[in-house]
A and B are shown apart, each in its own frame.
Chain A
C-alpha cells in the first residue's frame, strides 16, 4: 500500500466506517430515559384542571397561589382571567394527580385571607405568604370542573362530624355566621347560615352541632337566643343573664333538652328559637284560652307580654292592647287581649274540669265562665312601683260594678274592675277634694291677725308686767332671806325656843312627880304629905333631878 522510498505522499485511504454498536450510545439512551421518566412523572402528577369563579382575585397570583386542603398543597393557580361579562374572575387551577378527587360536585372553594371578626382572627399566616385558595373536598362521586367560589369560608366542612339543625326565629337578633351554640355553656357548635323566610315573616337559621355533642339534641330540645347581655325589666324586676363573654359580643344560641332519655334528633330537624331561656324552658302549653278585657283606666305600664296573674301564678300573657272609643259612655277604653293557659292551674284545673264533665274542646271556656259567674274579675295592678309596670291580675272581687268588653268570637270576655292603684288614686282624689274645700286663705288671714294681737300682748307684758315682776321677786327674795336668818341654827329665835322647851320639860317632870306622889298617896290631897321612909327614900330622886337640871 505504501512506499516510503520514493517520497511521494500516499493518498489518504478512508476505511468504510464500521457501524457497530458502541457503549457511548448508552449515554443518550440514559438521558432519553431520564427525560422520558420526568415527562411521564409530570404527566402522571398532573391532575385535572378546574376553574373557579370568584368575585375578586384579590391576593391571587398566577403560577404562585396554591390550592390547599387542610393546609396541604394540592394544586396551583395557572391563570386568572375575567369572566365573559366582567362581573367575576375566573381562576384556573391545576390540581395534583392525587388530589383529582377534589374536583367533585359538592366541593367548595374559597379564598383564605386574613380575617378578623368577633369570633376571632383567622388566616394570619396569609398576611406574609399571600392568599391561597382553600378547598373543602366534597363527598359526591360526580366529578365537576367548574365551580363557584365562596366569599367566606364555610363554617362546616364536609368532613366535620356532627349534625345540622334548622331553627325558626322571629328575627336574627345579634346572631351571625359562626355565632357559637352552647350546651351547658360549653361551645358545641355554631351558626352556619341564615336566611329570611320566603314570606319575609321570620328567619331560618342553620346551626351545626359537632359530634359528640350532637346526640344531646333531642326532638324535644329547646333552643334559645343567648346573645349578649339579656337585661329584662319586667314586673319581676331586673333580670340579667349572659352565656359567655364571647356570646356577649358575638351572640350565641344555647340549647337544653329535657332529661327524659329521648333518642337524638334527626339531621335537619326544625326547632323554634326562643327569645330567652325562660321562654324556652317554660312548660309547653297545649290548651290555651283567649281573653278579652276592657279597661277604662290608663294602661300605661301594661305591655304586650305582660303577665296575666292568678293568685301569684302566671297564667298567661297579654297579647295585644288596642284603644277604642266607647260611644255609649263617651269614654276611651283600652281593649286588651290576652291568652291564658288553664293547664298551668295544674290539679286545680283538672278538678274543675272533672266537676264539669265537659268535652275537652270547650272545657277551659266553661271552667272560666263558671269562675266568672263566681265573681272572677280582672284588674290592672301595679307590678313594680319603681318602673311602673302593670300586669293583669285575676281574682275574686265581688265588690264593684264590672266592666264588660263587647263579646268577640273565640275570646272569653272577662269582666274587669278598676285596679287597686286606680281605686287608691280615686280615694286620694277624694281626699284632695276635701282638702281643697278647706278655706286656707281665710284661715291664713285670721291666723295672721291673731298672731298680731298676740304680738301686742307680749309687748305689753314685756313693757309693764316684767319690771313689776322683777320688783316683786326682789322683795320676795328679801323676805326669804330674813326668814332664813331668823331660822338659822344660832339665831335668837332658836335659842329662845330651846329655853322654852327646856322649861316645858321641867314643868312636865314636876307634873309627873306630882302625879306619881298622888297615885301612891292619894290621901295626901287631903292630909298632906306623909313621912313615909319609902317615900322619903324615893323623894330625893325627883328632888335630885330637879336639882340637877341646869338653871
Chain B
C-alpha cells in the first residue's frame, strides 16, 4: 500500500447512492436527503455491521437444523427413506459417484461454512479496526458475494425432485424441514454479505 488515499468523506463530500449526485457533506448526515433525487443520504450503509452480525448469527443458528433434519424424503410403496445432507453425500459416495458427492459436499457444506468464516473474519477485523491486508480482505468479500448463491444447489435439487417425482402411489419425493432451513441459511448469508459495507475495511486509520 503506497500513497495517500483521499476519500470523499475526507474531502467533505458525499455522493448519492441512487443517482450519483455529489454534494457538500452536511453537518448531520443522518436525516439528510439527496438534492436531486430525494433519496436518503448515508455516509456508509446504515447499521451495516449490526445487520451483518444479525443475519450471520441467524444463518449459523439455522445451519444446525439444516444439517440434522431431513432434507429429502423419498417414498415408494415399500419403503421411505429420509436423507439429510451428509447422508446424501455418503450415499452418493457409496453408490459409486464420488464426483457428485464432492459437488454436493462442496456446495452444501464447504461453501456455507466458508462464508461463515469469511464474514466472521471481516466483521471482527472491522470491529477491531485492523489495518492488516485490506486488499486481501476486500477480495475475500468479493468472493463470498460471488459464490453466495451457488450453495442453493441442494435446495434446487430438492425443489426439482419434489416437482418432478410425483407418481403418487409408486413413488414421490417430499422436501423435509432441513431443506427449508438450508434455504434460510443461504438466504441469510447472502443478506449478511450484502449488508456488509466493504468500505468499512478501509475506514480504519492507516498505520504507517
- Of chain A, the residue at the smallest CB distance from B205 is A12
Which A residues are CB-close (under 8 A) to B11?
A: 9
B9, B50, B54, B64: the one contacting A12 at CB < 8 Å is B9
Within the assembled complex, what's the spacing in Å between the Cα atoms of A10 and B9? 9
Distance in angstroms from A133 CB to nearest chain B CB is 14
B interface footprint on A97-135 (CB within 8 Å = 1, 0 otherwise): 000000000000000000000000000011011100000
Chain A CB within 8 A of B27 CB: yes
Chain A CB within 8 A of B69 CB: yes
Q: A4-B24, A27-B188 are in contact. Are A32 and B9 (CB under 8 A)?
A: no
Do A35 and B62 have beta carbons less than 8 Å apart?
Answer: yes
Q: A4-B12, A27-B55, A38-B65 are in contact. Are A22 and B6 (CB under 8 A)?
A: no
Do B47 and A22 have beta carbons less than 8 Å apart?
Answer: yes
Chain A CB within 8 A of B97 CB: no
A interface footprint on B144-171 (CB within 8 Å = 1, 0 otherwise): 0000000000000000000000000000
Do A2 and B25 have beta carbons less than 8 Å apart?
Answer: yes
B6, B47, B68: the one contacting A24 at CB < 8 Å is B47
Which A residues are CB-close (under 8 A) to B65?
A: 34-35, 38-39
Do A32 and B61 have beta carbons less than 8 Å apart?
Answer: yes
- Of chain B, the residue at the smallest CB distance from A29 is B58
Do A31 and B10 have beta carbons less than 8 Å apart?
Answer: no
A12, A27, A128: the one contacting B203 at CB < 8 Å is A12
Distance in angstroms from B58 CB to nearest chain A CB is 4
Distance in angstroms from A158 CB to nearest chain B CB is 27
Chain A CB within 8 A of B2 CB: no
Chain A CB within 8 A of B208 CB: no
Do B58 and A28 have beta carbons less than 8 Å apart?
Answer: yes
Do A30 and B58 have beta carbons less than 8 Å apart?
Answer: yes
Q: A24-B50, A28-B54 are in contact. Are A35 and B61 (CB under 8 A)?
A: yes
Which B residues are CB-close (under 8 A) to A30?
A: 58
Chain A CB within 8 A of B184 CB: yes
Within the assembled complex, what's the spacing in Å between the Cα atoms of A25 and B51? 7
Do B51 and A129 have beta carbons less than 8 Å apart?
Answer: no
Do A27 and B25 have beta carbons less than 8 Å apart?
Answer: no
- Of chain B, the residue at the smallest CB distance from A126 is B78
Chain B CB within 8 A of A459 CB: no
Distance in angstroms from B201 CB to nearest chain A CB is 14
Within the assembled complex, what's the spacing in Å between the Cα atoms of A30 and B61? 10
Do B78 and A129 have beta carbons less than 8 Å apart?
Answer: yes
Q: A12-B10, A27-B54 are in contact. Are A125 and B78 (CB under 8 A)?
A: yes
Which B residues are CB-close (under 8 A) to A126?
A: 78
Chain A CB within 8 A of B59 CB: yes
Do A9 and B6 have beta carbons less than 8 Å apart?
Answer: yes
- Please report which residues of chain A, range 11-36, place their CB below 8 angstroms from some CB of chain B when the two chains form the complex: 12, 22, 24-25, 27-32, 34-35
Do B47 and A64 have beta carbons less than 8 Å apart?
Answer: no
Which A residues are CB-close (under 8 A) to B68?
A: 42
Do A27 and B58 have beta carbons less than 8 Å apart?
Answer: yes
Which B residues are CB-close (under 8 A) to A130?
A: 78-79
Which A residues are CB-close (under 8 A) to B87?
A: 63
A12, A31, A32: the one contacting B188 at CB < 8 Å is A31
Which A residues are CB-close (under 8 A) to B58?
A: 27-32
Which B residues are CB-close (under 8 A) to A25?
A: 50, 54
Distance in angstroms from A43 CB to nearest chain B CB is 12
Distance in angstroms from A19 CB to nearest chain B CB is 9
Do A10 and B12 have beta carbons less than 8 Å apart?
Answer: yes
Within the assembled complex, what's the spacing in Å between the Cα atoms of A2 and B29? 14
B51, B81, B205: the one contacting A64 at CB < 8 Å is B81
Q: Which residues of B contact A (CB under 8 A)?
A: 6, 9-12, 24-25, 27, 47, 50-51, 54-55, 57-59, 61-62, 64-65, 68-69, 77-79, 81, 87, 177, 181, 184, 188, 203, 205
- Some 6 contacts from A to B, beta carbons below 8 A apart, are A1-B27, A9-B11, A12-B10, A28-B57, A35-B65, A126-B78
